[in-house]
Amino acid sequence: MRLVLIFLAVVVLLTIGWVWIALHWSYSDGERAGYVQKLSRKGWLCKTWEGEIAMVTMPGAIPEKFEFSVRDDDVAQKINLLAGKRVVLDYRQYKFIPSTCFGETEYFIDGVREVVDTPAQAAPQPLAPVVSPGQLTPVR
């Protein structure tokens, strides 16, 4: 009986260690830019914020969807306010998360900022040469 209890204690400690490592050490991090399409709080037992953005590489191209999860309610509210606008999402990717109670995707959003489009300036036009009246030659 004692061996079974020791075995169970070791399994529980290893599981807790695995969950802690999976949630605190990120595999990668970066930014994704696109248009917020949806953000919703879903789940039967564990409610998590889940969303997606459409990443458009060039006008007329088919957008690629990027699905993400949000842990922080404040970040989720900022994303909700920017729905339909072009944003940059700062994310961290976590591999081998043991349950969907932490989020349905492996991409977790840390921050969001709106992309402000500035009008493109036209390229400078070359100036016409300045000719004084004495330099004109008649055309024949």
Domains in the chain: boundaries = 2-117
Residue 98 has pLDDT above 80, yes or no: no
CB 117 within 8 A of CB 59: no
Angstrom distance (rounded) from CA 89 to CA 51: 11
Residues 14-32: what's their mean pLDDT?
Answer: 85
- For the stretch 27-53, pLDDT in tens is 899 999 999 999 999 988 889 999 999
CA distance 28 to 30: 7
- Which tokens sit at 107? 């991409």
DSSP structure class, residue 62: P
Q: How many residues does the chain have?
A: 140
Q: Which residues contact 100 (CB under 8 A, 6 or more apart)?
A: 43, 46, 48
Q: Tell me, yes or no, if the pTM score tops 0.85.
A: no
Residue 98 structure tokens = 């043991």
Pick the closest to residue 110 from 51, 47, 29 (CA basis): 29
Of 96, 84, 89, which is closest to residue 110 (Cα–Cα)?
89
Say if strands 28-42 and 107-114 run parallel, antiparallel, or are unpaired: unpaired
Does 120 have pLDDT greater than 90?
Answer: no
Topology, domain 2-117: OB fold (Dihydrolipoamide Acetyltransferase, E2P) (2.40.50)
